Amino acid sequence: MNILLIGSGAREHAIAWKLEQSPRVNKIFVAPGNAGTALAATNVDLPFPVSGLYSLVNTLQVSLVIIGPEAPLAEGMADALRAANIPVFGPNKNAAEIESSKAFAKAFMARHNIPTARYASFTDFDAAMRHLESVEYEIVLKASGLAGGKGVILPNSFEEACDALYQIMVAREFGAAGDEVVIEERLRGEEVSVLAFSDGTHVRVMPPAQDHKRLLDGDLGPNTGGMGAYAPVNLPGGLMDKITHSIVQPAIDGLRAEGRPFVGVLYPGLMLTDDGPRVLEFNCRFGDPETEVVLSLLETDLLDVVEACLDGTLDRIEVKWKRGAAACVVLASGGYPGKYATQLPIDGLDCAPGPNATIFHAGTTLKDQRVVTNGGRVLAVTGWGETLGDALDAAYDALRPIRFEGMQFRRDIAQKGLTTP
């Protein structure tokens, strides 16, 4: 089988790497891909407009398309492919709205009794200001639309909140994504990412993972797309069942009941509060960097799981996970998440990463046959092992030879996982 994968991050490199292990996979094409997928698979240009995908799928004799990022899902790429009878893994536009509209997601959770923070949503600046003045709890401001992970603001004072609201709604810092704003209660606790496969009816949850959103060690510095991850997170007994039955399954059932069947990966970002797990957001896709660690632990052929999702038979297959743990350390450009240089040569990629590690590429490209930087997050070095400590050793050993000008990474990935019993 030939497969076309849409995207260009370490998530897509990890999906390609996992699919490559399937005896049933012939060729993997990645559009547009990065230097890592150019070496591991075949990169092709992403056609625009989306109708160009039909001829690409024909020419490449592709019989399955997997869509990685949220933007093409929110724009209806899956709908367009389904309309042309091309098998696609990823939700239609109306199901992807669970990520692309936070206002929709909050109202949806309220309708289906899915635990989340108290909130109100606004399209009118003055009404939002009045709400800010009257709420009695600490708040978080969210641009409702897709803002590339930057649309959530955690203000430290009333003044900061007013300023951020003005920036989003009036100065339109995030463009149309800020036409509607969600103001919600600020929750406290540990965060965990639970990714789940779904065929629209059934779910299979993956091992819980933790992202590291802040740039610097000790969870300091600005928010980023994610500086590292590990899995599984050691949760109290029964908590994964509770998350599955009070959050993941009700969301899939609710979407189906509302005429928005969800086929793909549904990924709630959760806060584990003293009152139980609460949804911070829903994502309609694999997480990045969670995918790098979770797929390293998947034992079952990923193609079998994806096909069961497309066939509506996810309940009939067993999805097996390896024992042990995986950890991923992201190597980022100097200056990220602010301005950074690109096209910088990367050294050390020719050193073998060891048997229990792999180097997924994110923002990289090939220039004169050399791998150079091409984005904020550059590489996602991933290790696994019997224990989380082994996985971390494998990842940090594998990144040691790698160098590029300005390279930065966190040295404390998964430390919380090592210290919690």
- For ligand AMP, the binding residues (CB under 6 A) are 117, 140, 152, 154, 184-187, 191, 213, 269, 280-281
Residue 187 interacts with which of ligand GLY, ligand AMP, none, CB < 5 to 8 Å by class: ligand AMP
Query: Which residue ranges make up the site for ligand GLY (CB under 6 A)?
Result: 149, 211, 226, 283, 287-288, 290
* Partner residues linked to 185 by β-bridges: 139
In the block, tokens 């109100």 appear at 120
Instruction: Pick the closer one to ligand AMP by CB: 117 or 196.
Output: 117
In the block, tokens 């939700």 appear at 91
Tell me which amino acid residue 225 is: G
Q: How far apart are CA 137 and CA 142, in angstroms?
A: 16
Q: Cα angle at 393 between 392 and 395, to 5 degrees? A: 65
User: C-beta of 223: minimal distance to ligand AMP in Å?
Assistant: 7
Q: How far apart are CA 109 and CA 42, in angstroms?
A: 40
Instruction: Pick the closer one to ligand AMP by CB: 184 or 288.
Output: 184
CA 370 to chain centre: 28
Residue 280 interacts with which of ligand GLY, ligand AMP, none, CB < 5 to 8 Å by class: ligand AMP
CA 270 to chain centre: 13
User: C-beta of 118: minimal distance to ligand AMP in Å?
Assistant: 9
Instruction: Pick the closer one to ligand GLY by CB: 25 or 327.
Output: 327
Minimal CB distance to ligand AMP: which residue? Answer: 281
Phi, psi of 160 (to 5 degrees): -65, -35
Instruction: Pick the closer one to ligand AMP by CB: 190 or 315.
Output: 190
Residue 290 interacts with which of ligand GLY, ligand AMP, none, CB < 5 to 8 Å by class: ligand GLY
User: C-beta of 9: minimal distance to ligand GLY in Å?
Assistant: 9
User: C-beta of 189: minimal distance to ligand GLY in Å?
Assistant: 17
Contacts 24+ apart (CB under 8 A), 390-396: 390/324, 390/325, 390/356, 391/230, 391/324, 391/325, 391/326, 391/327, 391/356, 392/230, 392/327, 392/418, 394/327, 394/354, 394/356, 394/357, 395/327, 395/328, 395/329, 395/357, 396/329
Nearest to 92 by CA among 103, 112, 104, 76: 76
Whether the CB-CB separation of 327 and 388 falls below 8 Å is answered with yes
User: C-beta of 348: minimal distance to ligand GLY in Å?
Assistant: 26
Residue 97 interacts with which of ligand GLY, ligand AMP, none, CB < 5 to 8 Å by class: none
User: C-beta of 255: minimal distance to ligand AMP in Å?
Assistant: 18
Instruction: Pick the closer one to ligand AMP by CB: 281 or 304.
Output: 281
Whether the CB-CB separation of 29 and 42 falls below 8 Å is answered with yes
Instruction: Pick the closer one to ligand AMP by CB: 199 or 288.
Output: 288
DSSP state of 47: P
Residue 281 interacts with which of ligand AMP, ligand GLY, none, CB < 5 to 8 Å by class: ligand AMP
User: C-beta of 226: minimal distance to ligand GLY in Å?
Assistant: 4
Instruction: Pick the closer one to ligand GLY by CB: 169 or 413.
Output: 413
